[in-house]
Amino acid sequence: MKYVDEFRDPKQAKKILKEIEILCLEIELSEDRPIQIMEVCGGHTHSIFRYGLNQLLPKKLDFVHGPGCPVCVLPRSVVDNCISIANNKDVIFTTFGDAMRVPGSKQSLLDLKAEGADIRMVYSPLDALTIAKNNPEKRVVFFGLGFETTMPSTALSIMQAKKIEVNNFYLFCNHITIIPTIKAVLDSPGMRIDGFLGPGHVSLIIGTKPYDFIADEYHKPLVAAGFEPLDILQSVWMILKQLKNGEAKIENQYKRLVLDDGNASALDPISEVFELRDFFEWRGLGSINHSGVKINNKYRDFDAEVEFKLKEVTVTDPDVCQCGEVLKGILKPWECKVFGKECTPEIPLGALMVSTEGACSAHYSYGQNIDLINKK
């Protein structure tokens, strides 16, 4: 297929849905519960709700919304550190748009910007580097976040800053890694995930081989999936086919972009600039070993944590916020007691309502809509 409308073809979708329904009837679980497939990536969560795929699939199949939205798993302590940095009069703080609205303990970056702080939305770390070159009297900080998908551009920006000697450019690094995150999900008490929709964008960088342990050690299937409706439906079909046959393999549905060995041009700058942290704190999930990266000693001069002497602290979410339970698949978004009431996309209480890829925001925006395929 060449064109995007081919990946949204209602006739093809109905054929796959029929085969999925048959497979679901043929799969028997040892427990009386639905077949549970976790979509790790927030982009998949967004597509599932946008196109109403959760409404089309058999009731015996249930999506569990994983921790794959980097904005959604930002702990309040990280937001508080961002605010601490941005409060300095000689600082220009730069960030992606979604991160500006994530609630901290007392306020968000957007709140602080309204009070007069110089906080700017950028589309890439290179934009932030340009701002640093144009404002040599200021310390310019880029808030780096995201999985392996966004790490290469951040790393290349740091390498470029060192090369051209821009000494007022700093990175507050909160990039996270996908493999320890999935392992933490698999090791969770009471885990009942039967298979995984593997993240397409991350897999584009790291490939499919790093997922082998999921099949080898935990005997669960994973399919690296694209983001269009037919991508997701075909990937679900591939997982169900494995479950029916008693198999556990790592498969690649997104072959038009994802290679087994990943993208060396993206992986090389990551290994050049970053090293693994001993642990990283996740909103709603707690501390996960080796699940984040930091700037290594070679590029230490660009590390905002060093420049601003930041301390590692833990700040818990409000008791009424149930983001952690949603991230772990214990609750559906609409089962949270503040969903759509105290917590909406306009006034988000929890991080899952901030990003368009957050499970709560996606369900709030699309959950009640009749999907595109059904209309046709």
The answer on pLDDT for 13 being more than 60 is yes
Q: Which residue has the higher pLDDT, 323 or 152?
A: 152
Q: What is the pLDDT of residue 369?
A: 43
336 DSSP 8-state letter: S
Measured distance CA(63)–CA(233) in Å, rounded:
12
The burial class, CB within 10 Å (0-12 / 13-18 / 19+), for 216 is: exposed
What pLDDT, on the 0 to 100 scale, is given for residue 73?
Answer: 80
Contact at 8 Å (CB) between 360 and 353? yes
**Rg, the chain, Cα only:** 21
pLDDT digits (tens, 9 = 90+) for 246-293: 999 999 999 999 999 999 999 999 999 999 999 888 876 778 899 999
pLDDT-derived band at 367 (thresholds 50, 70, 90) equals low
With residue 117 as reference, give the H or E element that holds it. Answer: none
Coil, helix or strand at residue 321: coil
For 82-105, what is the mean pLDDT?
93
Indicate left, alpha or beta for 206 from its phi (over 0: left) and psi (-120 to 50: alpha): alpha
pLDDT, tens digit, 9 for 90 and up, residues 78-91: 999 999 999 999 99
pLDDT for 242 equals 98
Residue 376 is predicted with a pLDDT of 40
Q: Is 113 helix (H, G, I), strand (E, B) or coil?
A: helix
- Structure-model confidence comparison of residues 269 and 374, the more confident one: 269
- pLDDT value, residue 2: 75
Q: Are 9 and 234 in contact (CB under 8 A)?
A: no
**Residue pointed to by tokens 């306009």:** 346
Those residues with Cβ within 8 angstroms of residue 232's Cβ, 6 or more apart along the chain or in another chain = 39, 44, 47, 48, 53, 197, 225, 226
What's the mean pLDDT in 157-171?
98
Lowest mean pLDDT among 58-72, 125-139, 215-229, 338-352: 338-352
Q: How confident is the model at residue 343 (pLDDT cuts 50, 70, 90)?
A: confident
Six-digit token pair at 146?
């995201």
pTM of the model: 0.86
pLDDT of residue 319: 65
Q: Are 36 and 193 in contact (CB under 8 A)?
A: yes
Task: Collapse the DSSP code of 222 into the 3-class scheme (helix H, G, I; strand E, B; otherwise coil) and give the result.
Answer: strand
State the pLDDT confidence band at 329, using cuts at 50, 70 and 90.
low
pLDDT band at residue 316 using 50, 70 and 90 as cut-offs? low
- Mean of the pLDDT values across residues 324-337? 76
Q: Which domains does the chain have, with CATH numbers?
A: 34-316+354-362 (3.40.50.11740)
Q: What is the mean pLDDT of the chain?
A: 90
Q: Do residues 205 and 263 touch, judged by C-beta distance below 8 A?
A: yes
Tell me: pLDDT of 134 over 70. yes
DSSP string for 249-316: -EEES-TTT--TT--HHHHHHHHHHEEE-SEEEETTTEEEET-BEEE-GGGGGGBHHHHTT------P
Residue 375 has a pLDDT of: 41
Question: Could you tell me the CA-to-CA distances from 147 to 40, 144, 177, 270, 370 in Å, in that order?
Answer: 12, 10, 5, 11, 32
pLDDT tens, residue by residue, 181-217: 899 889 887 778 999 999 999 999 999 999 999 999 9
Write down the pLDDT at residue 315: 56
Helix axes 42-50, 359-366, angle to 10 degrees: 10
Tell which wins on pLDDT, 188 or 22: 22
353 vs 83: which has the higher pLDDT:
83
CB atoms within 10 A of CB 370: 9
Of 103, 196, 163, which is closest to residue 299 (Cα–Cα)?
163
Q: Looking at the predicted structure, is the pLDDT value of residue 223 above 80?
A: yes
Of the listed ranges 21-30, 156-165, 265-274, the one predicted with least confidence: 21-30
Q: Which residue has the tokens 């984040």?
A: 292
Q: Using 50, 70 and 90 to split pLDDT, how confident is the model at 317?
A: low
Answer whether residue 374 shows pLDDT above 70.
no
Residue 114 tokens read as: 């309204």
DSSP 247: -
